[in-house]
Amino acid sequence: MQEIPPPRGYWLPQNFGGVPPEFSRFASARVVVLPVPYDLTTSYLAGTRHGPQAIIDASTHLELYDEELQSEPYRIGIYTLPPLEPSAAGPEETLRRVEEIISWLLEHDKFPVMLGGEHSLTLAPVRALRQRFRDFSVLQLDAHADLRESFQGTKFNHACVGRRIHELGLNLVQIGIRAISLEEAEFIRAAKNLHVCFDHELHQDLAPRLPSPRWQGAGGEVLEEALAHLRDPVYVTVDLDVFDPALMPAVGTPEPGGLDWYTVLKILRYVGEKHRVIGCDVVELCPIAGLVGPNFLAAKLVYKMLGYFLKGGQG
């Protein structure tokens, strides 16, 4: 039976960005958004399974012109996949499904953008990219190092994703870290190919009132030093709890402190200018009913990343 198309007009686009049909077809899109509503191993507040849809809903209200880049990044083409069905069988099967889809996207030369869901998902795109690129760096913006060997009975817990990435032999740079265990602190001290920029180091420049001027501007220098550890190409994973929870309260594990909007943008713009970025994800949005600010922040962050990483829609 032939499929009957709906008549033209009067339809609100239900894709990331609310992008018009000519810029949201799979064949011509450079970017493919994969929503993964999964939060099986969440340990504190559950609900990140609602994150991807909240980001897509908020994204339809984005201004698609980027005044900083003076371009319209969506013109590169953004196709949005339907939400991936997580497996009830456990984390490994869900990760396998995501890896399969990301590999398929890479075969079609798409730039993958995964929307989580919990952070354990990041291992899947990283594994898929590893099949294609022998070596790359992973930049992780996060309040947590996620370097535990295992947590609550599984190695595929959100608290272990950094460790799983690192043991693939990839270079890992973490920024914004402000909650770790003793086990993780010892691991960080001993590990190679791992650079951790702690949040408190970034906030040292809050101390210009101290008697010694040597603290002035230290945050910027620390950031620059951390980013110098990245080697091409780069995968970027943003756990939204990297932000100050005053700005981003809608996360499962909020931590006081954290980065502000413009510091995160500065980091991402720098990475897009200096490096070839091969994919990214934004994870851990746990929407709060009636509070749309955090959802919109997450949606705008994704769109800013596309502008930075794909050269304002040119690359």
Nearer to Mn ion, 66 or 199 (CB): 199
Nearer to Mn ion, 86 or 176 (CB): 176
Among 66, 99, 199, 241, binds Mn ion (CB under 5 A): 241
Rounded to a whole number of angstroms, the minimum distance from the CB of residue 42 to Mn ion is 11
Considering the rule CB under 5 A, would residue 178 count as an interface residue with Mn ion?
no
Kind and range of the H or E element at 164? helix 161-166
- The letter for the amino acid at 298 is A
Rounded to a whole number of angstroms, the minimum distance from the CB of residue 244 to Mn ion is 13
Tokens of 227: 């980013």
Residue matched to tokens 């991807």: 52
Rounded to a whole number of angstroms, the minimum distance from the CB of residue 47 to Mn ion is 15
Phi-psi map region of 28: left, alpha, beta (phi>0 left; psi -120 to 50 alpha) = alpha
Considering the rule CB under 5 A, would residue 244 count as an interface residue with Mn ion?
no
Contact window for Mn ion (CB under 5 A) among 50-58, 89-97, 124-132, 237-245: 237-245
Nearer to Mn ion, 184 or 239 (CB): 239
The number of residues that bind Mn ion (CB under 5 A) is 5
Cβ-closest position to Mn ion? 144
Distance CA 110, CA 191 (A): 33
Contact window for Mn ion (CB under 5 A) among 4-12, 143-151, 163-171, 268-276: 143-151
User: How deeply is 97 buried, as exposed, middle or buried, from its count of CB atoms within 10 A (0-12, 13-18, 19+)?
Assistant: middle
Kind and range of the H or E element at 297? helix 293-309
Among 39, 66, 199, 239, binds Mn ion (CB under 5 A): 239
Nearer to Mn ion, 125 or 307 (CB): 125
Nearer to Mn ion, 201 or 239 (CB): 239
C-beta atoms surrounding 134 within 10 Å: 7
Considering the rule CB under 5 A, would residue 142 count as an interface residue with Mn ion?
yes
Distances (CA, A) of 19 to 29, 44, 72, 90, 257: 11, 35, 11, 34, 35
Nearer to Mn ion, 141 or 226 (CB): 141
Considering the rule CB under 5 A, would residue 144 count as an interface residue with Mn ion?
yes
Sign (positive or negative) of CA dihedral 46, 147, 100, 107:
positive
Contact positions vs Mn ion (CB under 5 A): 142-144, 239, 241
